[in-house]
Chains A and B, each alone.
Chain A
């Protein structure tokens, strides 16, 4: 075990980034023109990084496995993006955003990184507006805000329920502009399948051309990964079907470290699972908790009647409803952080109050909001004295539709039930991964020249991410952090000539990748890739999901090892390696998930405390809340891969500015 150095600059929290930035090493324009950078992944973090590095004059090569950079899963982010603008005059500030994020993350993130994130948040909004991102506006033409979980100010900027789409299209347009000028070369339908290290430094990648199956060598002075999270290790998640850990995991197998992999976020408001054929889960934005109230019937017999279809939510009288979040957490009510809301839903369903046929769902009800908005509209129209209840509902529905229309429509399409009439049924689902590749303050891994941005790294969200902070982090890393910090590495490389792909290191990486692919094709077993992925997901959810315990984690780990062995004996991959072969793509990704899953179990087992999304049943307060153990576990657990026994490295977290407290949202 080694202790890792995060290279956090000295100075006060407020001055660290500003001072560091002004004293950083620079690369002169004439040298930038010769220096090549590979960016893998073109979601918010990757597209913004590639575009900005291109603008600065570097020679950038960007890679995505999608057919276009515009398809990255950032596009599906719904609710919004946080920024400490304080446009609402409600007491927000950079410090408050910093504090909320540290507290929301249950004190398992790095102070310096989080403060820098809060500082950058302000510029992100300006940049996005300048690119033409059509944020929601007030009648005066100024930007509108709403609230998200775990905070008491309104700092979330949004574009209906499609904020991720609009921000990604903004970054994509900047990237497209750089592609048109030739400063970025774009490789669509290329998947990174290995990292190439030359003399210990990251100098390139092996990419598989997904159309031809050809393995290509690509060299550069350094490599930037922005390849997203690994939520699909659970098979069912809100991630897109293609989201995967392969680029990050191949880097781990080349010496990078996987940090806090057990910190996964279970989002409280998703459409519940309906059958075995289900391929993915759909999120209902957290913004809905601004206006929706979460409840279950107080009496179990009512829940049973609803499950059996004998009653609906509308038959349950107000006094028979348990608005359990408002009851347990009066200060934050329905807007508690995601980990708290998810666990509370599980508690109610485990007690037998669930409301879907599977018993795994709670209600998210908009009737109070519809009535409240309807009355307000009637008042502003001057008709509040003479209006009927039906008219109030009609007016209220219109307001709700304007705010959340596309989400309600999405719910209706998937479930076939009208959420304006019946409350939505929701249940927690895997959504985001706070863990990721270990990086220092420069976003550089322990492999020199390898940088990791966005959800793919671990650094900013601790054990739980607050809503509307993923978009913020992806764009902060890409637009405002990496363009500076990459210079710390590259300023020492100005004498390094263009990297050749003829070296032994490239040949070795290519041939070992070829062998691995051949091995998968040659197994010719009897079970599909999909069936292994589903089984892995079930193990992960059962033993490493919303609550975990030591026995389960040990069992889960051995089950994964057994499954991995079976996979290499009996998987069937149709077709050949030298063609467009989506099944082979899946097989390569699932093989990596089968290793990552084991490290997640190990990490969860190692962390004998409960914090954020990591809830160990052995460590709970008398009221069932998470019990942190700061003395022993205020560290980042960074794992080095080893087939037999992964090795733990630690980075101690020191808190100089915030006092470690038990999180309370009561």
Chain B
């Protein structure tokens, strides 16, 4: 299949970027990233600068790949990361627009590569259970109701890709933060620090320059792991309780 690509090219954070157009021949069995590999090999053979994009596991779990394809984070398929998208989702002759995640808290590094270290700092602010190695009791000493374990697991499947932020018109990281707050807060092990965790993670999220949530719901639609917006409601309840129920 013959495709036309309009790709965002930007040398670094300090310069302005622009779209450049490329033609590429692809096979429908290729993954989207393999199609970009083919284009990059061509650019290299012409001694041109290949397009910088991030990727690693190429099986939808590491959360590294992050392209906005035709205006949608991770492209047109529901519940799919960019690396799991295959060219059979496109037609011969299509023009495909490829952009980086666009959000104030994710500055561009080069071309399609952005800096998502803000997510790490949100986790560092409280996305853990404070237990040192060796302090744990027997695994079966804490029974967890099966349905609760499943809910916690569903929230814990977040891959930290940032599609929720890229999808949100406000550039909000509520779904990312709420997924971690829910995962830990639903489990008995995580209950002890739940209130403190919610407050500090939300505070950090604000500090990083992510926008507020105005219930658009695009995050849930674009999340490759289909994490439910229910988690945001859960975090909001717990945040309100933390603020108004505080002893301070």
B187 contacts A by Cβ under 8 Å: yes
Contact A141 to B57, CB < 8 A, known contacts A68-B120, A134-B156: no
A residues within 8 A CB of B130? 177
Please encode chain A, from 134 to 145, with 1 for each CB lying within 8 Å of some chain B CB and 0 for all others: 111111111100
B residues within 8 A CB of A409? 79
Please report the C-alpha to C-alpha distance between residue A136 and residue B136 in the assembled complex, in whole angstroms: 18
Contact A55 to B132, CB < 8 A, known contacts A134-B156, A176-B124, A580-B109: yes
* Cβ-defined partner of B120 (8 Å) among A166, A188, A277, A579: A188
B207 contacts A by Cβ under 8 Å: no
Question: By the criterion CB–CB under 8 Å, are A71 and B56 in contact?
Answer: yes
Please report the C-alpha to C-alpha distance between residue A120 and residue B78 in the assembled complex, in whole angstroms: 41
A residues within 8 A CB of B54? 67
Question: By the criterion CB–CB under 8 Å, are A169 and B44 in contact?
Answer: no
Please report the C-alpha to C-alpha distance between residue A277 and residue B31 in the assembled complex, in whole angstroms: 9
Please report the C-alpha to C-alpha distance between residue A596 and residue B86 in the assembled complex, in whole angstroms: 33
Contact A211 to B109, CB < 8 A, known contacts A76-B57, A129-B189: yes
| Nearest Cβ on chain A to B41's Cβ, whole angstroms | 6
| Nearest Cβ on chain B to A553's Cβ, whole angstroms | 30
Instruction: Report the interface size for chain B: residues with CB under 8 A from the other chain.
Output: 76
* Cβ-defined partner of A125 (8 Å) among B33, B50, B61, B139: B139
Which of A565-598 touch B at CB < 8 Å? Answer: 572, 574-575, 579-580, 582-583
B234 contacts A by Cβ under 8 Å: no
Contact A130 to B44, CB < 8 A, known contacts A142-B143, A160-B153, A165-B157: no
Contact A70 to B84, CB < 8 A, known contacts A143-B140, A173-B129, A582-B52: no
A280 contacts B by Cβ under 8 Å: yes
Instruction: Using C-beta atoms within 8 Å of the partner chain, give the interface range for chain A.
Output: 35 or more
A655 contacts B by Cβ under 8 Å: no
| Nearest Cβ on chain A to B224's Cβ, whole angstroms | 11
A335 contacts B by Cβ under 8 Å: no
Please report the C-alpha to C-alpha distance between residue A55 and residue B117 in the assembled complex, in whole angstroms: 23
Question: By the criterion CB–CB under 8 Å, are B153 and A134 in contact?
Answer: yes
Question: By the criterion CB–CB under 8 Å, are A137 and B139 in contact?
Answer: no
| Nearest Cβ on chain B to A138's Cβ, whole angstroms | 7
A413 contacts B by Cβ under 8 Å: yes
B residues within 8 A CB of A127? 131, 133-134, 136
B residues within 8 A CB of A135? 139, 149
* Cβ-defined partner of A66 (8 Å) among B59, B64, B159: B64
A residues within 8 A CB of B116? 67-68
Question: By the criterion CB–CB under 8 Å, are A241 and B30 in contact?
Answer: no
B residues within 8 A CB of A279? 31, 33-34, 37, 58
Question: By the criterion CB–CB under 8 Å, are B38 and A277 in contact?
Answer: yes
Which of A248-279 touch B at CB < 8 Å? Answer: 274-275, 277-279
Question: By the criterion CB–CB under 8 Å, are A580 and B113 in contact?
Answer: yes
A residues within 8 A CB of B4? none
Which of A172-198 touch B at CB < 8 Å? Answer: 172-174, 176-177, 179-180, 186, 188
A416 contacts B by Cβ under 8 Å: yes
B residues within 8 A CB of A139? 146
Which of B15-31 touch A at CB < 8 Å? Answer: 27, 29-31
* Cβ-defined partner of A141 (8 Å) among B62, B136, B145: B145
Residue of A nearest to B126 (CB): A180
A162 contacts B by Cβ under 8 Å: yes
A residues within 8 A CB of B159? 165
Please report the C-alpha to C-alpha distance between residue A165 and residue B160 in the assembled complex, in whole angstroms: 11
Please report the C-alpha to C-alpha distance between residue A125 and residue B30 in the assembled complex, in whole angstroms: 39
Question: By the criterion CB–CB under 8 Å, are A275 and B27 in contact?
Answer: yes
B residues within 8 A CB of A159? 153, 156
Interchain residue pairs with CB less than 8 A apart (15): A51-B133, A55-B133, A66-B56, A67-B115, A73-B56, A123-B136, A127-B134, A131-B189, A132-B183, A140-B143, A143-B140, A174-B131, A241-B55, A409-B79, A575-B49
Sample of 17 further A-B pairs with CB below 8 A, known A165-B159, A279-B34: A66-B56, A66-B64, A68-B120, A69-B120, A76-B57, A129-B142, A131-B189, A165-B157, A172-B123, A176-B120, A211-B109, A275-B29, A275-B30, A277-B27, A413-B60, A414-B84, A580-B110
10 interchain residue pairs of minimum CB distance: A141-B143, A173-B128, A130-B136, A126-B136, A134-B153, A129-B139, A240-B56, A52-B133, A240-B57, A180-B124
B interface residues, Cβ below 8 angstroms from A: 12, 27, 29-31, 33-34, 37-38, 41, 44-45, 47-50, 52, 54-64, 77, 79-80, 84, 86, 88, 109-110, 113, 115-117, 119-120, 123-125, 127-140, 142-146, 149, 152-153, 156-157, 159-160, 183-184, 187, 189-190
